[in-house]
Amino acid sequence: MQPAFSVIFLTTLIGMGQGLFLAIYTEQVYSLLNVLPHGEKSLFYAIGSAIALILLGLGMIAAMFHLGRPERAWRAITQWRTSWLSREVIVLPIFMGLLFMYGIVHYMNWNIQLIAIGAVIIDISVVIGLFAMIAASLLFLSTGMIYACLKFLQEWHSPLTVINYVLLGSASGFTLSTLLAAIYAPQSVNFYAGWTIVITLLAYLFRYASLIRNKRLRPKSTVQTAIGVRHTKITQKAMGFMGGSVNTRDFFHHKSKAIIALIKHSFIVLVFYIPIVLLSVYIVQPIQELLIIALISQSLGLIAERWYFFADANHPQNIYYQSIA
């Protein structure tokens, strides 16, 4: 497929936003259960929510550039029964709304207590956060399934696609949350740094698994099935036109194998190796710059990762567009 930068930015930005929310909510639940020290962290939660909201908003703006007719985008909420894209379009604003409420409740310090189970006090932000967490999970599922449900894009048609969207989004969100915690909630920074390393490692394992899987794939469609002629040697002599068309532009990356390999290796280093090393160093030697470099490295790496994710997928329609003259 031809990587579309609008979709690359959409998925990396909202993934980071979702991950950031999941990070701060996880920390809130840990504090709630007295695993982590309590403290005045409402402002931190509010800032985290605001930044997550900004990321999601930027993602939405990026998505608009993908549409030919963005003024009709509201129509995309109608086909939730069949279309994962429609489901994503519905869940994204719901998540943003819940996230906004979650942030506001923390910012205004509305500690309305709902239930108290022993020493565990459940206030309204925990409940809103729970719904927001469900929405974030559904959003990850929808985003991943948009790609995973296309069965003839064999590179994408796998549960690994959804798992990787969840893990890569979470990893980048947790990295950002570590940086924010270093500034606004230093008492919890090691919690964030630790989880970021764990999630980034998990993401590395699953992304690597999908790289191995895709390398071993054999295309189901061949030129033989495409035109229905049984012969071992069939070559296209003419695709039917001399210039380009949507079919030649949208479905192939037009890059050399060397560039594809370079992008693959860069994203592995940028998304996984550099952040894991820097965060591990940070736990021993807390220098804030390490977190900034880790975040920049991972964000750039994720753009490369998403680019590669598209370029890696072989669309069977390309069989029909192999030769011009």
Partner 1 sequence: MSQLALVIDLNVCVGCHACVTNCKEWNTSGHAGALADDRPYGEDPTGTFFNRVQTYEVGEFPNTETVHFPKSCLHCEDPPCVPVCPTGASYKRKEDGIVLVDYDKCIGCRYCSWACPYGAREIDEHQKVMKKCTLCVDRIYDTNLPEAERKPACVLACPTSARIFGDVHDPDSEVSQTIRERAGYQLMPEWGTKPSNHYLPRRISHYKIHPDELERADNPLKKEDYQSPDLSEPSLDDVTSW
φ, ψ at 115 (rounded to 5°): -135, 150
CB of 67 to partner 1, least distance (A): 5
Torsion of the alpha carbons at 78, 79, 83 and 86, rounded to the nearest 10: 0
Binding-site ranges for partner 1 (CB under 8 A): 1, 66-70, 72-73, 75-79, 82-86, 89, 146, 149-153, 220-221, 223, 225-229, 231, 233-247, 250-251, 315-318, 320-321
> Smaller CB distance to partner 1: residue 147 or 272?
147
CB of 64 to partner 1, least distance (A): 10
> Smaller CB distance to partner 1: residue 85 or 134?
85
The Cα–Cα gap between 20 and 177 comes to: 6
> Smaller CB distance to partner 1: residue 217 or 227?
227
CA distances in angstroms from 308 to 109, 141, 302, listed in the order given: 43, 20, 9
CB of 54 to partner 1, least distance (A): 24
H/E stretch holding 123: strand 120-123
Residue 108: burial class (beta carbons within 10 Å; 0-12, 13-18, 19+): exposed
> Smaller CB distance to partner 1: residue 187 or 224?
224
Q: Tokens 């899987």 identify what position?
A: 213
CB of 162 to partner 1, least distance (A): 16
CB of 309 to partner 1, least distance (A): 13
> Smaller CB distance to partner 1: residue 109 or 225?
225
Per the structure block, which two tokens stand in for 298? Answer: 């991972």
